[in-house]
Amino acid sequence: MITNVTIKRAVVCLLCIGILSLSVCLLVRPKKEFSENENRYLTKFPSFTAKALLDGAYTEALGDWLADHFPQRDFFVGFKSGAEIACGRKEINHIYVAEDDYLIESYAKPQNTERITDTLVSFYDKVDTSKVDVNLMLVPTAVTVYSDKLPAHAPLSDQTGTASAIYEASGIPAIDCTDRLLDGASQGQLYYRTDHHWTTLGAYFGYLAYCDAKNMTPVSLDTLTAQTVTDAFAGTLYSKVNDYSRPKDSITIYTNPGDDLTVTYPDTGEVTDSLYNLDYVTEKDKYSLFLNNIHPLVEIENSAASSQDALMLIKDSYANSLVPFLAHHYRKIYVFDTRYYRDGPSSFLEEHSDITDVLILYNMNTLDSDTGIRGIY
């Protein structure tokens, strides 16, 4: 006869076996250092100290490690997100589940606009504007350009108002690409469905706004060679939502047959004739194919450029897909990622009298948190 005591013992035994099996699995299975799906490094096993144990830091870190290395974690995380979306949830981790399979990052008004504008003013004040033309472009993200795709009752973004305030406070002549992007929204996909960046086509409309402001004749897309290099791009928003059933993006690149490029990466010493590193097509972070991922400084020379002018480009990653269009117009482009360039572009500008133009370009969503802003001056 099966008694309640027997059932309880069996349950306890099964729980113990489960816990023991899980512990053995956690200990012996190979540990991943990087999550391809989430595009981030996983938590490392915490170092034990008596102090960390007493103040709770060790147990908190251990909990984070267990959460990151739980067996079949990717499956369970993806299942959870898929179930939430199936039940009608429209916002996950500050990402809207929008129409037409778009994931669109929500927008929070910057909390550090005074610091941002002070930095921009400090840089601009040092430039001899009689010799160098400086412009500022703050790029709206999909939450503004694709606002019609957002879920009902999603709060309206005021990226345009915030950008206008920064333009005015900084005193730097603005190149506002918002209207160009809004006009182009009906002409193709301007932002990735799974990533926070604009697509190459979106970057082209930003380039048209730049040409408008600089009185340049833009290169027609029809004269460029287009190549779709992947249709399996799962970007940053895909990683944040963790719904692994979502359709992937394609990435198209454009090359100008008339350009004669020499691209130099001073930090590695690498020299190439392409603005793209297609090795990244096989990686999770496929957007890194533009300008070969992250470098403090990239020097681009085009011996077939339409002018002898030189551009200093101070930017975030949005500009990486814009550079191939700009390259036609400048004999030389100096591209700065000020998160990693420690000497400050101001000093570089003083030392390079060949520079005729400066473009400062950041997207509105990461403007507040991008540490590169502080490195401009």
pTM summary value: 0.82
Q: Are residues 118 and 57 in the same domain?
A: no
Would you say residue 84 lies in a domain?
A: no
Q: Is residue 101 part of a domain?
A: yes
Same domain, 368 and 285: yes
Q: How confident is the model over 133-156, as pLDDT tens digits? A: 999 999 999 999 999 999 998 988
Residue 9 forms part of a structural domain: no
The more confident residue out of 294 and 368 is 294
CB-count burial class (<10 Å; 0-12, 13-18, 19+) for 347: exposed
Residues 34, 176, single domain; the answer is: no
Given the structure tokens 């113990």, which residue do they identify?
A: 16
Say yes or no: 40 and 126 in one domain. no
Give domain status of residue 12, yes or no.
no
Q: State the maximum Cα–Cα separation within the chain, in Å, rounded to a whole number.
A: 98
Burial 319-332 (b: 16+ CB within 10 A, else e): bbbbbbbbbbbbbb
Same domain, 253 and 300: yes
Instruction: Provide the pLDDT for residue 98.
Output: 95
55 and 160 share one domain = no
Give the range among 61-70, 137-146, 283-292, 350-359 with minimum mean pLDDT.
61-70
pLDDT over 70 for what percent of the chain? 77
Q: Are 117 and 254 contained in the same domain?
A: yes
Better-predicted residue by pLDDT, 32 or 370: 370
pLDDT at 239: 86
Contacts 24+ apart (CB under 8 A), 40-47: 40/239, 42/68, 42/69, 43/67, 43/68, 43/69
Q: What does the DSSP 8-state code read for residue 288?
A: G
Nearest-angstrom CA–CA distance, 324 and 317 = 13
Given this model, what pLDDT does residue 23 score?
A: 46
Domain that holds residue 132: 95-375
pLDDT at 128: 95
pLDDT of residue 25: 46
Identify each DSSP E strand in the chain by its residue range.
Answer: 34-35, 40-41, 91-92, 95-97, 103-105, 133-139, 225-233, 249-255, 261-265, 270-272, 297-302, 310-315, 332-336, 357-363
211 and 359 fall within a common domain: yes
pLDDT of residue 258: 94
91-136 residue pLDDT tens: 888 899 999 999 999 998 888 889 999 999 999 999 999 999 999 9
Give the count of domains, the chain.
2
56 lies in the same domain as 102: no
Q: Which residue has the higher pLDDT, 6 or 225?
A: 225
d(CA 259, CA 168): 36
Angle of helix 57-69 relative to helix 73-86, nearest 10 degrees? 80
- In this structure, are 238 and 367 located in the same domain? yes
Q: Tell me the per-residue pLDDT of 274-286, one tens digit each, with 9 for 90 and over.
A: 999 999 999 989 9
Q: Are residues 152 and 193 in the same domain?
A: yes
> Residue 273: which residues within 8 A CB-CB, separation 6 or more?
261, 262, 263
Residue 78 lies in a domain: no
CA 95 to mean position of chain CA atoms? 14
Whole-number Å distance between alpha carbons of 145 and 176: 13
Helix, strand, or coil (residue 337): coil
Provide the pLDDT for residue 373.
78
**Same domain assignment for residues 220 and 295:** yes
What interhelical angle do 159-170 and 113-126 show, nearest 10?
A: 40
